[in-house]
């Protein structure tokens, strides 16, 4: 029997720069046994700097230049913490990441890049966009182009800094504005020095200046900017340059907190020796633009980060496992490829420069080859089944897909129903209700106490985030009963790890769980821990209510309010297959971590019935409410709030391993109204298991719109009215459009809807 190897050391990578992306790629192919790998990045993707000018010029889509850190971290077995590091404590060996407890490390590597922001220039923070970080500029550029197309902004751009980066951005901007049909675009380069392009040879500078002149880019040298204003730039000589977008590209400035980290630095850039280790602490490494090579100072350029990556990888492994270190010897000169906006580029090295379309094609091949290294790998084929094996084992393995986590790992609704049918009745007189509702209800003074328990297979490698999600998920049953959370016990199964890592992990779990619970007025009273094959986390909870809100009680004419978007199970399943974009996975996890107590407190006083949508999907939990209430319901596909990419991933065939059982459990009670497209992927999302799913409440029609507005204002932006309750037997009609959802669910049978219409909903995805 295989026993997982224990985790014994924490390797933390700060920043998703090019060097760290390549280190993750290497660790995905050859991990260090016993190391827990953590990547800290403010964004779920990292933009490749070499292709950014081409993206601004319109030659590449945004996703063409993005390294998906979510997928990369998953392939490397790393936990990804989405946050911006703000400090290092060498004494405690921790990193400060706002919003969470200090992150412990045994070996630390820093690749946080630089910024082009100008904090000392008046107005720059409010009215300018720095060229770095790249993700911010890409987003601002898309918004600016949209405003120009809508005639809400003039096609005027000013770029501060006429180095290579600034020139590339200026040429890309004017090319794109003209390609988009902008009328009389104006792009101005502002350089405080008397001459631009100081890093190029005279020949290379002449080639690029010729391209600027041909493109019509205005060049202002020798005068520094004095302020950035809402409508452009004020220069030190009193001149004003009109601009609706101002970009700062005046050089690489280090992140300010590096200089206060206690580590040796040069001008705020972390000092490192030949092995890329800090002379202050050999357990700290640095690479990329945030590092200064003491043995071989070089200008800040992405080529050095890429070349340093193999040495950094080898030395991080040596620091963890022992062994000799390697030295990094950067080349003295490197090939500069300067994009000229159109599909032309300048190649410059050793004082020789060439400008031609073939240079751009050469650069394009180099850039695409680099970014292709991070493309998702094809899923490994499932290993053959051992022999002998039972006849139905292959079918149970669902085509070789790994079992989903979160609520996607629940037992199927049919199996659970059979088990609960044999549950003996409880003789206690203070138990007012047991199986069938979201929580057990016990008599408690003048009111009631609700009791529930829930646990999840981990859906993220980040224990802190997983604890928030698990706490919010478990609280859902208390909120759905209209109760105020009271006290919780935590049950934890940790993967095998050393005592030091156990203590670190439990501290993260407790911090996250107590934060969620305390915000609801509840406390964590203890729990139970054990070590096992995988990370699993759950809570037992109590809550108090004057009047519980049950699943029963929905009335014909009620509106159905859902507080959270659907698609969690589909996105997580696609993420396991490497098919879900990292942004979509990150947004789904962030949505799951949002508490719903405020929404529950708005809904409970007016709800006739309420539940939460979890493992059995919207259709399953809504039909439970209808069965308990003796009513029918209708939902409209165009009213369903959906997470980013959920519909597209469902259309591509991605689904949780629990979805087929959810579909089968409700097949006989679903009807599709005329006009519902059998191929509509939103149909399959009715059966999608939700971890931390939304609250589902039947409320008076007159109150629904106001409740949704208040819930959205409280932070749950996806809340919506998705359908209606109607008289009739417990069944669910699915309509294509919102207006049709006002019809009674039984109207489809009254109007002669066929069984083939019902099969639209109940057939295989």
> Does 621 lie in the same domain as 725?
yes
Does residue 200 lie in a domain region? Answer: yes
Range of the domain at 183: 124-251
Pairing label, strands 269-272, 265-266: antiparallel
Q: Beta strands of 533-689 (E only): which ranges?
A: 536-545, 559-562, 609-612, 632-636, 670-672
Q: Which domain-ending residue is among 531, 549, 567?
A: 549
Report the alpha-carbon distance of residue 749 to residue 284 in Å, rounded: 70
> Does 587 lie in the same domain as 450?
no
Q: Characterise 475 by phi-psi region: left (phi > 0), alpha (psi -120 to 50), beta (else).
A: alpha
> Does 293 lie in the same domain as 226?
no
Does residue 353 lie in a domain region? Answer: no
Q: Which domain-ending residue is among 525, 549, 573?
A: 549
> Does 260 lie in the same domain as 289?
yes
Q: Which domain-ending residue is among 251, 270, 292?
A: 251
Longest dimension (CA), the chain: 93
Does residue 143 lie in a domain region? Answer: yes
Quick check: 456 and 407 in contact, CB under 8 A? yes
Which residues touch 124 (CB under 8 Å, ≥6 apart)? 117, 118, 228, 246, 248
Phi, then psi, of 582 in degrees rounded to 5: -60, -35
What does each C-alpha distance from 699 to 560, 602, 605, 705, 706 come to in angstroms?
7, 11, 10, 10, 11
What are the 10-residue block averages of pLDDT along the chain, 765 residues in total?
A: 80 96 96 97 92 94 93 94 95 96 97 86 93 86 95 95 92 96 94 88 92 95 93 93 93 87 96 98 96 89 88 97 94 87 91 91 94 80 80 72 67 68 69 71 87 90 96 95 95 95 97 97 95 93 93 96 96 91 94 96 96 94 95 96 96 91 91 91 95 96 97 95 96 84 40 34 33
Phi, then psi, of 125 in degrees rounded to 5: -60, -35
pLDDT at 441: 87
Q: Find the catalytic residue in 290, 317, 407, 692.
A: 407
Q: Is 692 a catalytic residue?
A: no
Phi, then psi, of 420 in degrees rounded to 5: -70, -25
Report the alpha-carbon distance of residue 523 to residue 516 in Å, rounded: 9
Does residue 741 lie in a domain region? Answer: yes
pTM above 0.85, yes or no: yes
Burial bucket for residue 218 (CB in 10 Å: 0-12, 13-18, 19+):
middle
Does residue 158 lie in a domain region? Answer: yes
Does residue 431 lie in a domain region? Answer: no
> Does 672 lie in the same domain as 590?
yes
> Does 556 lie in the same domain as 542?
no
Kindly report whether the peptide bond that precedes residue 133 is cis, defined as omega within 30 degrees of 0: yes
pLDDT at 596: 96
> Does 707 lie in the same domain as 646?
yes
Phi, then psi, of 165 in degrees rounded to 5: -60, -45
pLDDT at 338: 92
Q: How many domains does the chain have?
A: 4
């Amino acid at each position: 029997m295989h026993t997982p190897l224990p985790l014994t050391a924490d390797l933390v990578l700060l920043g998703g720069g090019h060097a760290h992306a390549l280190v993750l790629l290497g660790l995905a192919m050859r991990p260090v046994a016993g190391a827990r790998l953590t990547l800290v990045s403010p964004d779920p993707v990292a933009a490749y700097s070499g292709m950014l000018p081409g993206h601004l010029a319109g030659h590449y889509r945004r996703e063409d230049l993005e390294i998906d850190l979510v997928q990369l971290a998953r392939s490397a077995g790393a936990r990804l913490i989405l946050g911006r590091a703000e400090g290092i404590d060498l004494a405690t060996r921790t990193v400060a990441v706002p919003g969470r407890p200090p992150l412990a490390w045994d070996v630390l590597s820093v690749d946080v890049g630089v910024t082009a922001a100008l904090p000392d220039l008046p107005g720059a923070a409010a009215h300018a966009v720095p060229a770095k970080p790249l993700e911010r500029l890409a987003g601002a550029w898309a918004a600016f182009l949209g405003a120009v197309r809508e005639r809400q902004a003039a096609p005027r751009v000013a770029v501060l800094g006429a180095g290579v980066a600034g020139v590339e951005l200026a040429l890309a901007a004017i090319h794109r504005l003209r390609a988009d049909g902008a009328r009389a675009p104006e792009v101005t380069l502002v350089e405080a020095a008397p001459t631009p392009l100081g890093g190029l040879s005279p020949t290379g500078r002449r080639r690029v200046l010729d391209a600027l002149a041909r493109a019509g880019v205005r060049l202002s040298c020798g005068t520094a900017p004095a302020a950035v204003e809402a409508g452009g730039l004020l220069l030190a000589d009193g001149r004003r340059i009109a601009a609706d977008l101002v970009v700062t590209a005046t050089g690489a400035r280090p992140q300010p907190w590096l200089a206060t980290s206690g580590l040796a630095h040069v001008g705020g850039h972390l000092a490192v020796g030949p092995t890329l280790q800090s002379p202050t602490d050999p357990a700290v490494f640095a690479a990329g633009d945030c590092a200064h090579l003491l043995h071989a100072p070089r200008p800040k350029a992405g080529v050095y980060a890429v070349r340093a990556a193999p040495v950094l990888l080898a030395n991080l492994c040596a620091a963890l496992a022992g062994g000799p270190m390697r030295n990094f010897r950067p080349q003295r000169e490197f090939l500069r490829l300067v994009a000229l906006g159109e599909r032309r580029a300048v190649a410059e090295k050793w004082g020789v420069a060439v400008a031609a379309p073939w240079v751009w094609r050469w650069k394009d091949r180099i850039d695409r080859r680099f970014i292709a290294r991070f493309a998702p790998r094809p899923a490994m084929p499932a290993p053959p089944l051992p022999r002998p094996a039972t006849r139905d084992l292959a079918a149970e393995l669902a085509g070789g897909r790994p079992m989903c986590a979160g609520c996607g790992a629940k037992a199927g609704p049919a199996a659970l129903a059979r088990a609960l049918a044999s549950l003996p009745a409880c003789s206690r007189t203070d138990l007012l209700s047991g199986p069938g509702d979201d929580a057990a209800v016990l008599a408690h003074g003048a009111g009631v106490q609700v009791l529930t328990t829930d646990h999840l297979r981990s859906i993220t490698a980040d224990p802190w985030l997983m604890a928030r999600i698990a706490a919010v998920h478990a609280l859902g049953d208390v909120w759905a009963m209209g109760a105020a959370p009271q006290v919780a016990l935590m049950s934890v199964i940790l993967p095998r790890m050393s005592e030091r890592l156990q203590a670190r992990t439990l501290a993260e779990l407790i911090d996250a769980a107590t934060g969620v619970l305390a915000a609801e007025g509840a406390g964590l009273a203890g729990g139970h821990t054990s070590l096992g094959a995988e990370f699993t986390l759950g809570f037992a909870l109590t809550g108090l209510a004057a009047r519980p809100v049950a699943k029963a009680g929905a009335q014909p004419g009620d509106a159905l309010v859902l507080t959270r978007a659907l698609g969690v199970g589909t996105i997580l399943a696609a993420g396991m297959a490497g098919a879900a974009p990292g942004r979509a996975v990150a947004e789904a996890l962030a949505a799951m971590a949002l508490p719903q107590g405020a929404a529950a407190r708005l809904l409970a006083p007016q709800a006739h019935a309420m539940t939460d949508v979890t493992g059995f999907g919207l259709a399953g939990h809504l039909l439970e409410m209808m069965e308990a209430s003796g009513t029918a319901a209708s939902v409209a596909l165009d009213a369903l709030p959906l997470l980013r990419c959920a519909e597209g991933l469902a259309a591509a065939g991605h689904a949780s391993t629990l979805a087929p059982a959810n579909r089968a459990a409700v097949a006989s009670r679903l009807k599709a109204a005329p006009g519902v497209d059998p191929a509509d992927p939103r149909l399959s999302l009715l059966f999608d298991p939700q971890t931390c799913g939304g609250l589902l409440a039947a409320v008076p029609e007159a109150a629904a719109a106001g409740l949704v507005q208040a819930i959205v204002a409280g932070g749950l932006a996806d809340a919506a009215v998705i359908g209606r309750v109607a008289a009739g037997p417990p069944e669910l009609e699915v309509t294509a459009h919102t207006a049709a959802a006002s019809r009674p669910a039984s109207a489809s049978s009254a109007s002669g809807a066929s069984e083939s219409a019902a099969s639209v909903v109940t057939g295989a995805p």
